[in-house]
Amino acid sequence: MTETTVGIGGAAESTDMVLNIGPQHPSTHGVLRLRLVLDGERIRHAEPVIGYMHRGAEKLFEARDYRQIIMLANRHDWLSAFSNELGVVLGVERMLGMEVPERAVWTRTLLAELNRVLNHLMFLGSYPLELGGITPVFYAFREREELQTVMEEVSGGRMHYMFNRVGGLKEDLPAGWLGRARHTVAQVRSRMGVFDDLVLGNEIFRGRTRGIGVLSQEAVHAYGVSGPIARASGVDFDLRRDEPYLAYGELRDTLRVVTREEGDCLARFECLLDQSHNSLDLADACLDRLAELPPGPINQRLPKVLKAPEGATYAWTENPLGINGYYLVSKGEKTPYRLKLRSASYNNIQALTELLPGTLVADMVAILGSLFFVVGDIDK
């Protein structure tokens, strides 16, 4: 067989096209820029260019006391606000050697899992939308509204909860809230099957995602990828099981770490969906435990001026999008000397340099959307 290459003038046969997608573009999930080098319709090189949303949160941490930094930590991944707060307060409590009341531990675990479902529902609805399926996003937002109503009642906030405090939580649960939360969890669980039927059962969706954007285990380790994306490539790691915090050590029988071996876009979506089901089970287990606990405090009384002792610690948590870590350095003052944030999306997005080369431009959106990132979590 003989192949013939036909030129279209000038140096067209030897010239690559450099295409900038973003930073303002419908396909870039916000303020992200992708610099692509194309050979026809095939991507030869890809470079994610970040920093367009950078707000300098790490420097702002150094000018706020330990109560105020919770507000800043709350916002970098705006879909996982409760989990972001959690990492900060766990780090400060570790520095102080503080033991948190049992009711606060179980309530934190419950709210963290509800927040995980809220995060995943956003991507379960928006990812099919990016591939041309508009209906799933309406179902996803219906379930999100149910859960957000519960979270808003307990905390006062719909997205930025500001409910964690060093030593526990802001205040106790409203009367009757546990029953309303249990009803909401049951309602959401009863309707989650729509994503299996409407999305996973759709042959067009499967055709656009199966075998596309395969991420190897070696690349996962090389780029520090974590969360559902890493587990979709067969990396069986979850801090809730492997280094338990909060009440996860007592939830081993309920906690199920969802993995896949394929490492493609479809596997990443399946991991997200299965993990949502398990988070609802964990929420039920927490509700059962809270119903058994006797009345008691939900936080520790703190001094008017809170100072962490001199030293350093690292607190990491299994956030919805992956590993979220805070490296806290204290000089014994009321503000952190240094608070370094290790966000999940920052590492996960770097894998695009591995995933996009060799693929078609038409598959770029499918691969980009399957990384389930939040731009604020990249730029912090």
Q: Which pLDDT band, with edges at 50, 70 and 90, does 26 fall under?
A: low
The set of residues, in sequence order, having a beta carbon less than 8 Å from that of 281 and lying 6+ positions away, is 254, 256
3-state helix, strand, coil in the chain (%, to 5): 50, 15, 40
Higher pLDDT, 304 or 278: 278
pLDDT tens for 36-52 read: 999 888 999 999 999 88
Question: Is the pLDDT confidence value at 13 over 60?
Answer: no
Q: Which pLDDT band, with edges at 50, 70 and 90, does 23 fall under?
A: confident
Dist. CA 84–CA 119, nearest whole Å: 12
Calculate what percentage of the chain has a pLDDT beyond 90. Answer: 80
What pLDDT is stored for residue 297 in this prediction?
A: 93
Question: Is the pLDDT confidence value at 372 over 70?
Answer: yes
Bridge-based pairing state of the strands 338-342 and 164-165: unpaired
The predicted model scores a pTM of 0.92
Question: Residues 4-11: contacts with CB within 8 Å, 24+ apart?
Answer: none
**83-94 average pLDDT score:** 94
Question: Is the pLDDT confidence value at 92 over 60?
Answer: yes
- The mean of the pLDDT values for the chain is 91
pLDDT tens for 210-227 read: 999 999 999 999 999 999
Dist. CA 376–CA 374, nearest whole Å: 6
Find the distance separating the first CA and the last CA of the chain, reported in whole Å.
54
What pLDDT is stored for residue 4 in this prediction?
A: 39
What pLDDT is stored for residue 15 in this prediction?
A: 63
pLDDT tens for 322-333 read: 999 999 999 999
**3-class SS letters over 78-143:** CCCHHHHHHHHHHHHHHHHCCCCCHHHHHHHHHHHHHHHHHHHHHHHHHHHHHCCCCHHHHHHHHH
Question: Is the pLDDT confidence value at 146 over 60?
Answer: yes
pLDDT tens for 293-303 read: 999 999 999 99
Question: Is the pLDDT confidence value at 5 over 90?
Answer: no
Question: Is the pLDDT confidence value at 261 over 70?
Answer: yes
pLDDT tens for 230-249 read: 999 999 999 999 999 999 99
What pLDDT is stored for residue 28 in this prediction?
A: 62
Q: Which pLDDT band, with edges at 50, 70 and 90, does 10 fall under?
A: very low
Dist. CA 371–CA 164, nearest whole Å: 28
Question: Is the pLDDT confidence value at 133 over 80?
Answer: yes
Question: Is the pLDDT confidence value at 376 over 90?
Answer: no
pLDDT tens for 147-199 read: 999 999 999 998 899 999 999 999 999 999 999 999 999 999 999 999 999 99
Q: Which pLDDT band, with edges at 50, 70 and 90, does 208 fall under?
A: very high
**81-88 average pLDDT score:** 94
Q: Contact at 8 Å (CB) between 188 and 195?
A: no
Q: Which domains does the chain have, with CATH numbers?
A: 57-378 (1.10.645.10)
